[in-house]
């Protein structure tokens, strides 16, 4: 069923973005606490059993996990301190401007597959407004697959924009949905004829080296 964005406002987008980053912040805190518990457990194991190899290895992994949790926590807090100045708004306009675009175009969407919405001018994951990406700004696209025990269980269209950011847009599996990703690529490329295709080191390097800085 198509999502209705007719009543979408800038305030609703800001609220959603804030909620998303707040949830991630909580996960980071819990993750850091778990890593600290592991380190404490490994230290206790060394003291009681005088075993070093396994505990040291465990402490190194926990330390890396803790570092990553702190890194992500800092990133989330930077956004939470000033949500209206989040990266997506610095790239594509104010929350109100983005809300207006989504509201106006969602009614004439070209495709909806799973959590992905494609309109004549942008692609977005439903409810994830930071994934809003104008088609004209896409510089690289490729297909990504996820398998569990060798069985394909999800597929994504990965899009990189001219600012060096990328998002994975999920598509449904099954014969009924076959060809939808190809259709989406065909519609997007109408707006970005110089877009590159395929996950290669050359393409990734091209995106990185030519990414536009944000003011």
The domain ranges of the chain are: 10-85, 108-209
pLDDT at residue 1 above 60?
no
Buried (b) or exposed (e) across 40-62, using 16+ Cβ within 10 A?
A: eebeebeeeeeeeeebeebbeeb
Across all residues in the chain, what is the average pLDDT?
91
Q: Of 177, 164, 162, which Cα lies nearest the Cα of 116?
A: 177
Whether residue 34 contacts residue 141, with contact meaning beta carbons closer than 8 Å, is answered with no
Q: What's the pTM?
A: 0.82
Q: Residue 101: what pLDDT? A: 94
What mean pLDDT comes out for the span 110-116?
83
36: Cβ–Cβ under 8 A, 6 or more apart, which residues? 62, 66
Length of the chain: 215
**139-165 pLDDT tens trace:** 999 999 999 888 888 899 999 999 999
How much is the pLDDT for 54?
83
Question: Please, are residues 130 and 147 in contact by the beta-carbon 8 Å criterion?
Answer: no
CATH architecture, range 108-209 = Roll (2.30)
């Amino acid at each position: 069923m198509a999502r209705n964005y007719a009543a979408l406002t800038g305030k609703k987008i800001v609220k959603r973005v804030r909620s998303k980053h707040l949830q991630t912040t909580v996960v980071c805190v819990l993750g850091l606490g778990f890593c600290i518990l592991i380190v404490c457990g490994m230290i206790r194991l060394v003291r009681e059993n005088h075993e070093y190899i396994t505990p040291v290895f465990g402490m190194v992994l926990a330390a890396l996990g803790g570092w990553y949790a702190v890194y992500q926590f800092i990133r989330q807090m930077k956004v939470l301190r000033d949500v209206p100045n989040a990266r997506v708004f610095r790239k594509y306009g104010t929350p109100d401007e983005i809300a207006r675009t989504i509201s106006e175009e969602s009614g004439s969407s070209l495709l909806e597959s799973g959590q992905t919405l494609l309109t004549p001018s942008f692609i977005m994951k439903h409810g994830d407004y930071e994934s809003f990406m104008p088609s004209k700004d896409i510089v690289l696209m490729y297909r990504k697959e996820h398998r569990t025990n060798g069985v394909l269980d999800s597929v994504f269209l990965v899009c990189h924009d001219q600012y060096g950011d990328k998002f994975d847009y999920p598509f449904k599996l099954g014969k009924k949905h076959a060809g939808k990703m190809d259709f989406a690529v065909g519609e997007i490329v109408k707006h970005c004829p110089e877009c590159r295709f395929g996950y290669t080191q050359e393409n990734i390097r091209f995106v990185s080296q030519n990414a536009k800085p944000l003011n």
